[in-house]
Amino acid sequence: MSSRYVVLLTLLLGVGVSAVEVQRPRGVPLSKLQFYEEGKPFTCLDGSRTIPFDRVNDDYCDCSDGSDEPGTAACPNGSFHCTNAGFRPVFIPSSRINDGICDCCDTTDEYNSGAVCQNTCRDLGRKERESLLKLAEIAKEGFLLKQQLIQEAKRGLEEKRAKAADLQVNKKDLEEKVEALRTVKEAAEQPEKQAKERHLKAWEGKLRWKKYHKLLFVQGIALLIAYSNTLFYYVTNLEKEISFDFGPSSEFAYLYSQCYELTTSEYIYRLCPFNRVSQKPKYGGSETNLGTWGKWAGPEDNIYSMMKYEHGTGCWQGPNRSTTVKLTCGKETVVTSTSEPSRCEYVMEFICPAICQEPPNLVSEEHEHEEL
């Protein structure tokens, strides 16, 4: 299961409707409950000192790491854990405890400030759950489309390989014919040259007719050579496409030779996957190359999540333009945004089903989860 869907599953299950509150000192997360045993001396989490347990949350900072005051604002470097049952737990700086502003959706950060807070965790959890379920449904549909793309790519690859093999045979046969015609031409010209030397006057009478046939012969060879060169170019491009890295199952093959545009208030951005990225002023002007295909550039565990386009048009007194294309799962194939976070370095967001991974069965697993 990809890390993206692990996160999605965690978030979805984390906003479950059932919740059980485990008793613990205020501001302590479950992951650190073992260090806070009531009735036993407390050792600061950085190991700096040990204090009686009744000095935990006494509004006085004893530990240099602030771990003895998880539920008060006594330590400037402390943090408070919002349980937020029914929604997602979060940490906030301890300086926000009892400051009159409700930071935790379960209101636990304002236990002694007099602020009027409402527990909105369940409502937030419900809304986020609905949103995540929609994302999961999109992922599911995108993954189904991806399976279709894989099958189409498989059939297309087989057809292209068969076509390339046939063209190679035709190309070889054509080259042999061209070579044979050249040999015939040279053999035919030899006795003509000899006859011309012996019978110059008789030859002059037939010169025009001979030149006409010779011209036709030469033109025929030229046409065959031109056709052979065209065939060679076509075969080369076909073999290049076959050898391209279109993903583990060639799921990205459908993007080849396609282009997708995004129009903003100023520019028209054009992404031609595996070829180039460009930018053109919306109201006229020359096109700027933002990079040509370089490589897949995602992290090691998800390398096909990013494309890198390099060596674009140079910036004035700066580097050549380049573009990173970030792929996200969706039912459509569309460019959604383009930005320039650094000078001459562009980032493009691209949605396509080919990047979708098989989602977990979120609904069935959700019923087995309890938020603590």
* Global pTM value: 0.62
Token pair 């190309």 in the structure block, residue:
171
d(CA 294, CA 83): 46
* Measured CA distances, 75 to 64, 97, 100, 355 (Å): 8, 11, 18, 46
Q: Tell me: the pLDDT tens digits for 19-51? A: 456 688 999 999 999 999 998 999 999 999 999
What confidence score (pLDDT) does residue 16 get? 45
Q: Tell me: the pLDDT tens digits for 242-287? A: 778 999 999 999 999 899 999 999 999 999 999 999 999 998 889 9
pLDDT confidence tier of residue 367, bands split at 50, 70 and 90: very low
d(CA 83, CA 247): 42
Higher-confidence residue: 144 or 185? 144
What confidence score (pLDDT) does residue 186 get? 63
Q: Angle formed by the axes of helices 121-198 and 200-243, to 10°?
A: 160
d(CA 113, CA 102): 10
Delimit the domains of the chain by residue range: 3-13+20-119, 151-243, 253-355
Within 10 Å of residue 196's Cβ, how many Cβ atoms?
A: 15
What confidence score (pLDDT) does residue 372 get? 38
Q: Does 64 score more than 60 pLDDT?
A: yes
- Rounded to the nearest integer, the mean pLDDT of the chain is 82
d(CA 279, CA 227): 36
Q: Which candidate, 307, 304, 308, 301, places its Cα nearest to that of 322?
A: 308
CB 105 within 8 A of CB 121: yes
What confidence score (pLDDT) does residue 351 get? 96
Average pLDDT (146-161) is: 87
Higher-confidence residue: 208 or 333? 333
* Domain 253-355, CATH number (from 3.40.50.2300, 2.70.130.10, 3.10.50.40, 3.40.50.300): 2.70.130.10
